């Protein structure tokens, strides 16, 4: 059993979440990774301190280049 737990600190802890983005550029409706990520940040009202890391990757298959990004962020 835990004793002397700081209830206020527990209420302010943030969850770590992830969001995946992908770009191939094969159709007119595909937006760049940067545009997708920035729109997500605005929609979710994320600030720089909320972003833990962003990892980028890319690969090519049958002449189609695919770019991906994984954003790890903190949110209440």
> 15-19, 21-25, 34-38, 53-57: lowest mean pLDDT where?
21-25
What's the pLDDT at 14?
81
Which two tokens mark 13?
A: 């802890």
**Domain presence at residue 21:** yes
- Distances 9 to 14, 17, 23 between C-alpha atoms, Å: 10, 19, 39
pLDDT at position 30:
81
The dihedrals phi and psi of 73, each to the nearest 5 degrees, come to -140, 165
Check pLDDT > 70 for residue 7. Answer: no
Count the domains in the chain.
1
pLDDT at residue number 13: 74
pTM, 2 dp: 0.76
Indicate which CATH number applies to the domain containing 63. 3.30.70
The domain in which residue 65 lies consists of 14-75
């Amino acid at each position: 059993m835990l004793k002397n737990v700081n209830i206020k600190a527990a209420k302010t802890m943030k969850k770590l979440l992830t969001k995946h983005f992908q770009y191939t550029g094969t159709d007119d409706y595909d937006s760049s990774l940067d545009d997708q990520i920035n729109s997500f940040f605005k929609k979710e009202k994320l600030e720089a301190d909320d972003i833990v890391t962003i990892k980028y990757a890319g690969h090519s298959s049958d002449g189609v280049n695919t770019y991906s990004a994984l954003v790890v962020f903190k949110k209440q």
